[in-house]
Amino acid sequence: MDKQKIIVGATGASGMPILVRCLELIRQNGKYESCLVMSRSARLTLEQETGLRAEEIYPLADKVLQEDQTGAGPASGTFPTKGMLIVPCSMKTLAGIHSGYGENLIQRAADVTMKEQRTLVLAVRETPLSPIHLRNMQELSMIPGVHIVPPMMTFYHKPKTIEEMTDHIAAKLLEHFGIEAEGYRRWQGI
Ligand SMILES: Cc1cc2nc3c(=O)[nH]c(=O)nc-3n(C[C@H](O)[C@H](O)[C@H](O)COP(=O)(O)O)c2cc1C
């Protein structure tokens, strides 16, 4: 059976280790394949946060597209996908999606995902949040299929390392696509 595609957009917000982990988990799952689109700012932030160049993480994705490839498959609703994950999602890209601006392939693919009522998971990151950021998130959260999932720290699963915290956040993002990450520690109750 053909694997279903998950479009993975990466923008210039903080959180690049989470992007890397999500790509690894999609690859491990076996049911899905990833199509990675990184913005120019995402490449800069990746280098700042991990010391890696974009080309070094490309092999984790099944397909790589550039943000200026606005004629590529994900720009059309006829291109079949399971949905789209944007990790991390900057406030700029959030605003572009909120307004339906479609400036680049990431924003256009998100627009298509919403109009087709597929799953769109936005790992939005900024702090503190302005009223504009909050309005954009609140209004987008009302659209069927849209999930606003800020990569927030959690302690209840008792992470011992940053990697364990990263794994937990990545698992929470991917469960919206029906992916159960190995080692995901769900709350069992007290
Ligand atoms: C190291 C670094 C960290 C950043 N973190 C954030 C962030 O957490 N959230 C955010 O909205 N923008 C952040 N920015 C700013 C964005 O990269 C910037 O607004 C950029 O224009 C976003 O463009 P894009 O959405 O097309 O990737 C950061 C920039 C740098 C260099």
* Distance between Cα 131 and ligand 1 center (Å): 18
For the Cβ of 9 lying below 6 angstroms from any atom of ligand 1, the answer is no
The whole-number average pLDDT for the span 18-41 is 97
- Asked if the bond preceding 128 is cis, omega within 30° of 0, the reply is yes
User: What's the confidence (pLDDT) of residue 185?
Assistant: 84
Question: Phi-psi category of 30—alpha, beta or left, where left has phi over 0 and alpha has psi -120 to 50?
Answer: left
Separation of alpha carbons 19 and 37, rounded Å: 11
Domain annotation covers residue 58: yes
Q: Is the pLDDT of residue 2 over 90?
A: no
For the Cβ of 125 lying below 6 angstroms from any atom of ligand 1, the answer is yes
User: What's the confidence (pLDDT) of residue 18?
Assistant: 98
108-112 contact pairs (CB < 8 A, 24+): 108/70, 108/74, 108/75, 109/7, 109/9, 109/37, 109/74, 109/75, 109/84, 110/9, 110/84, 110/86, 112/74, 112/75, 112/76, 112/77, 112/79
Residue nearest to atom 9 of ligand 1 (CA): 13
Q: pLDDT tens across 70-97, in order?
A: 999 999 999 999 999 999 999 999 999 9
Residue nearest to atom 13 of ligand 1 (CA): 13
Domain annotation covers residue 183: no
Q: Is the pLDDT of residue 1 over 80?
A: no
Q: Is the pLDDT of residue 183 over 90?
A: no
Domain annotation covers residue 184: no
Q: pLDDT tens across 52-77, in order?
A: 999 999 999 999 999 999 999 999 99
Domain annotation covers residue 118: yes
Mean pLDDT of the chain: 96
The whole-number average pLDDT for the span 24-30 is 95
User: What's the confidence (pLDDT) of residue 190?
Assistant: 87
Considering its fold, how many domains does the chain have in total?
A: 1
User: What's the confidence (pLDDT) of residue 163?
Assistant: 96
Separation of alpha carbons 57 and 167, rounded Å: 17
Q: Could you tell me the CATH number of the domain that includes residue 50?
A: 3.40.50.1950
Quick one: what percent of the chain has pLDDT higher than 70?
Answer: 100
Q: pLDDT tens across 111-128, in order?
A: 999 999 999 999 999 999
Domain annotation covers residue 187: no
Domain annotation covers residue 156: yes
Which residues make beta-bridge pairs with 122?
86, 148
Domain annotation covers residue 134: yes
Binding site listing for dimethylallyl phosphate: 156, 172
Range of the domain at 89: 4-177
Domain annotation covers residue 188: no
Q: What is the number of the ligand 1 atom nearest to the C-alpha of 45? A: 1
